[in-house]
Amino acid sequence: MGRSALAIFAAFGTVADRMAKKTTSAGMGDPVVPPRHPSPLHVQTQLKHARSKAISWQTRSMKFILYTALAATTLVAAPVAVSPSLIDSPQIGGLEFKSLSSLSFGPDGFLLVAEPGTASIVVIQTGDVGPERKVLEKPVADIGSVIASGLGARREDITIKDLAANPASGRLYLAVQRRPDNAVLIVTVDAAGKVAPFDTANLPWARITLPGGTASKVTNITDVAFDGTHVFATGTCNEEFASRIFTIPVPVKHGSTASVFSAETYHVAHRKWETKAPIQSFIPYSQNGETYVVGAFACTPVAKFKLNDLRSGDQVKGVSMVELGGGNRPLDLFSYTDKSGKDWLVVQTQRFAKNTFGPSQMWAARISMDYLDAAQTNENAARRDVGKPKGPAGIEIVDSLFGAVQADKLDNSRAIILKDNEGSLSLEVVDLP
C-alpha cells in the first residue's frame, strides 16, 4: 500500500488540522489533492448492502496499517471486564470482520455489529464509557478523504456503510469498506475530530448466527438494535418469504443461534401484502407489556410487528400505520422526545426521483408516536401530504436533516449526520426540532 498510515495519521492532531495542511499521498510523493468525488448517490447506494466476500490478504494488510496508526494516535485498548448481564461465554481477541452493514449501541458502550458475510451479529463490550461524554465539537469536512488517506486508497473507493453514536461517551463509530478488495474496518471519531481504527484486541465479544430457515440462507442484514432484554436484527433470505426479523436474548451467548421470524407487510402505496421487501431500518418498541419492531420499508410504509408469544420459524404480519410516499428508501430510523415531552419517530430517507419538496434527495420526516396506536391502518393508514412540509397533523419534514446520507440520535435535542456537501461528505451535529 505504499507509505504507511502511521505517517499520515500521526502527522496531524485533528482532522481539521490535517485537511488544512499539505502532505504527500500514499507512496506517490505528490501533494494530497482530493480526487474528484463521484455523486454521493454513487458512493452511498451501497449503504447497508455489504458484499459477502472472504477476508483477503489485502484486508489483513489494511488492518496492520491502521493498527500501526492507532498505536501512534490513541492508547491501545486496555482489557475490559466482562459484564455477565450482557455477554455469556465471551471471546477475547482474534476478532475479524468479513463484511459490515450496520452498527448500533446499547448501554455502557455495548456495540452491535451486523456482518452479512457470515450471517451473524457480533456484540462487543468496548469499554468506551467516558467518564465524560464529549460530542463532536465542529464539523469534520471531507471525512471520506481522511479515511482514504489512512488506508492508502482513493476517496471514491471508500464507502461509509453506517455510523453510530456511543451514548456513553459521545464517540462516533463508522463502518468502512474499501474497494476494490472490499476490505472492511470500524473507525472511531472523537470530539476533537481525530480518526482512529477501533482496536478490539483486548475486548470481550461474542458472535451469534442468524438462521435463514430450513432450506434458505441469510442474504443481507439491514439493521440491528438493542432494547434492554434482546438484540434485534432485520434482513432477507433467498426464499419467497424473504423478509426476516431476528431476536437474540441477553446475555448474548457466543456461538448461539438467533430466533427468526418471517415478516409480511401491507405496502400502502402498492396496495398489497408483500413478503420480499425487507425492513430497511427499525427501532424496538414496547407498549403495555408487548414487544414490537417498528420499521420502515421502501416506498415508504412505516409498520409495527408484534413479537410476543411467537416461536422461532413463525410468520408475523405487520400493521402499517403511516405511508410517507412512493419513490423513497429509508436509510435510518430513530426516536426522540422533544422539549415539550412529545415523542417522535424520525425516518431518514433517500428519494429515488427528484425531490420536489426540498433541496436534497436525502430527507427526513418525523412522525408522532401517537400513530403507533392509530385505529386506521394498512389500506386506511395515514398518508403524508407529499406536496407540503407538514400534514396530516403529526407528520413533518425535518429541515436540519436534508442532505444526510446517514443519521443517528445523539440525544433528545441533537443528531449526528453524514452529510453530502456538494460532492464531499462531512460529519456534523445538527439540532432536532
pLDDT digits (tens, 9 = 90+) for 238-261: 987 789 999 999 999 999 999 999
Residue 75 pLDDT > 60, yes or no?
no
Residue at 422 is within a domain: no
Contact by Cβ (8 Å): 341, 292: no
User: What does the DSSP assignment read for 220-272?
Assistant: EEEEEEE-SSEEEEEEEESSSS-EEEEEEESSEETT-B-EEEEEEEEETTTTE
Average pLDDT over residues 93-102: 96
Q: Which of 165, 188, 204 is the last residue of a domain?
A: 204
Are 28 and 151 found together in one domain? yes
pTM of this structure: 0.84
CB 363 within 8 A of CB 355: yes
- Asked if residue 70 and residue 215 are part of one domain, the reply reads no
Cβ contacts of residue 375 below 8 Å, gap of 6+? Answer: none
pLDDT of residue 18: 38
Position 40 confidence tier, pLDDT thresholds 50, 70, 90: very low
pLDDT confidence band for 82 (50 / 70 / 90): confident
Domain membership flag for residue 87: yes
Mean pLDDT on 398-421? 97
178 and 299 share one domain: no
Amino acid at site 425: L
Domain limit, last residue, from 163, 183, 204: 204
Show the cell assigned to 376. 386506521
* Contact status, residue 160 vs residue 38, Cβ threshold 8 Å: no
Same domain, 273 and 316: yes
Q: What is the pLDDT of the chain when averaged over all its residues?
A: 83
Residue 56 confidence (pLDDT): 35
The answer to whether residues 221 and 210 touch, using CB atoms and an 8 Å cutoff, is yes
**Phi/psi-derived region of residue 341, left when phi > 0, alpha when psi is between -120 and 50, beta in every other case:** left
Report percent pLDDT > 70 for the chain: 82
Same-domain check for residues 178 and 54 = yes
Peptide bond preceding 204 in cis form (omega within 30 of 0) = no
How many C-beta atoms lie closer than 10 Å to residue 83's C-beta? 15
Average pLDDT over residues 229-238: 95
* Residue 42 pLDDT greater than 90, yes or no: no
Say yes or no to pLDDT of 353 above 90: no
In angstroms, the CA 88 to CA 206 distance is: 8
* Stretch (H or E) spanning 145: helix 143-151
Looking at the domain assignment, is residue 427 inside a domain? Answer: no
In terms of domains, do 196 and 228 share one?
no
Say if residue 251 is in the same domain as residue 363.
yes
Q: Which residue has the higher pLDDT, 244 or 267?
A: 244
> Is residue 47 pLDDT above 50, yes or no?
no
pLDDT at 213 (0 to 100): 67
Q: Are residues 276 and 389 in the same domain?
A: yes
pLDDT at 34: 35
User: Residue 326: its pLDDT value, please?
Assistant: 86
**One domain for residues 377 and 246:** yes
112-167: per-residue pLDDT in tens? 999 999 999 999 999 999 888 999 999 999 999 999 998 889 999 999 999 999 99
Residue 367 lies in a domain: yes
Count of beta carbons in the 10 Å neighbourhood of residue 295: 29
What does the pLDDT read at residue 81? 73
Residue 235 lies in a domain: yes
Are residues 180 and 244 part of one domain? Answer: no
What torsion do the CA atoms of 247, 249, 251, 254 make, to the nearest 10 degrees?
-60
The confidence score (pLDDT) of residue 77 equals 56
Q: CA triplet 425, 418, 336: central angle to 5 degrees?
A: 165
- Specify whether 305 is located in the same domain as 171: no
pLDDT for 32 equals: 31
Q: Does residue 292 or residue 8 have the better pLDDT?
A: 292
Total domains in the fold of the chain? 2
Nearest to 141 by CA among 422, 431, 432: 422
pLDDT for position 79? 75
Segment 193-205 shows an average pLDDT of 95
In a domain, 178, yes or no: yes
Domain that holds residue 376: 210-402
419 domain-assigned: no
- Give me the percent of the chain exceeding a pLDDT of 90: 68
In a domain, 292, yes or no: yes
Final residue of a structural domain among 204, 220, 235: 204
**Residue 332: HSE in the Cβ half-sphere, 13 Å Cα cutoff:** 28
Domain check: are 378 and 338 in the same one? yes
